[in-house]
Structure 1
Amino acid sequence: MDVRVSSPSVIGLEDIRRRKLALTSAVQKNRSGRWILQLWSRFIKTRDLYRCVCCDSVEGLQAHHVVRKTLFPWGAFEIGNGITLCHRCHRRVHAEFNGRPDMSLPFGAEQGDDQDEWAFLYGLLLEDAVRRGISEDEFYFLGDRMLTFFVAAQGYEDLREMVLRGEMSRIKFAHEIWRVMPEDWYKNVVAETILLNL
């Protein structure tokens, strides 16, 4: 079922909801991953009004996974894990590394999974939702498994508790958790600095 949108300039919330429904239906019916990924891409571009969320270009648009599928496969069809980027902005995101990550290395060790980049992209999505006045949790949803992954990597269980109590949207959580360094990082840096000065 292809949901057609007449023109990017006249995309409304109902158009976005139809794309989301098509994606959700395909996931529930366990359609092929390739088909679901196409529907995910269509949803992301429709939600983002067929323009690069970073620079507003309408040329060479691509739906980009904020957290790569190879790093966290369960985020492949998460609607809050996608952002529309033009070819130029997408190329910049993948400039350092675009291969399969070595999971034994820490985040960013290969320059492909950078917390600052994730914070920036989630921040763009959050700002876009707020500017447009559209529901953050309806159109930028991240499932519990992805939130758990973020907390396992960064800590900040208190932020997830705020989400579960309805005090913070999931996309805001994603932005907040990646824009700050984990407390353990600061403790380790202080400990290493003290040891070096002994």
Structure 2
Amino acid sequence: MEIIQKHRLVLATAIARNRSRTWILRSWSRFIKARDLFRCVCCESPRRIQAHHIIRKTLYPWGVFEIGNGITLCHECHRRVHAEFNGRPDLTLPLGAEQGDDQDEWSFLFGLLRDDAVQRGLDEDEFYHLGDHMLRFFVRCQGYDALHEWVMHGEMSRIRFAHEIWRSMPEAWYTNFGSQVVRLNM
């Protein structure tokens, strides 16, 4: 745990001192790998590991240094994540329209992080923190204000929130579906 806290302090110091983006990203990557025990969280391999942004930097640039937005993957698992699409997304299209931003994949990766935290007894909000701005982005995409309230009242960890909100269909989908069913039955 001490090594994880050390890497977290280095990252926080780099951000506070306004170091270069490259320096901070390198510190972020080192923290993610240390937190995840220098092994792929998906397959446990310690070979050719890489820190991966779950929500890509081009889609949500404000989440680039969020420690809950990173997971350690081996080269093979990382390649699979980017197999469908690895370009700059067209932000005018809905999420997933280009096959690169997949809510099921995000839910899976956030779930892996949470399961790993629980198994290792790590504090989810300390070592997998997602800022309020990122949580509000999730709510704008998906809805589920009630889940967000649970986080704000300390009834749910932020990483669990990320897993749960992307695991579910958007709230608006259910509303639209319900409206259509009612119209069809009139």
- What TM-score bracket applies, with the shorter chain setting the length? over 0.9
State TM-score, norm by structure 1.
0.90
2:153 is aligned to 165
Once the two structures are TM-superposed, the CA of residue 165 in structure 1 deviates from its matched residue by 0.5
CA RMSD of aligned residues (A): 1.5
Q: Which amino acid aligns with 1:54?
A: C
Q: What's 1:55 paired with?
A: 43
Distance 1:22 1:137 in 2: 18
> How far 1:186 sits from its partner (Å)?
2.6
Q: Percent identity?
A: 67
SS in 1 for 2:45: coil
Give 1:182 shift.
1.4
- Structure 2 residue 109 is the aligned partner of structure 1 residue 121: yes
In the other structure, the counterpart of 1:4 is none
Structure 2 length normalisation: TM-score?
0.95
Residue 105 of structure 2 corresponds to residue 133 of structure 1: no
The match for 2:53 is 65
Change (3 A) 1:196 1:111: farther
How many Å apart are 1:192 and its aligned residue?
5.6
**Structure 1 stretches of 5 or more lacking a match?**
1-12
Query: Which letter maps to 2:84?
Result: E
CA change 1:161–1:197 in 2 (3 A) is closer
Alignment of 1:1-198 (within 5 A): 13-189=1-177
Query: Which residue of structure 2 lines up, in the alignment, with residue 5 of structure 1?
Result: none
Offset at residue 185 of structure 1 (A): 1.1
CA distance in 1, matches of 2:85, 2:174: 26
Gaps of 5+ in 2: none
Post-superposition offset of 1:15: 0.5
Shift of 1:196: 8.5
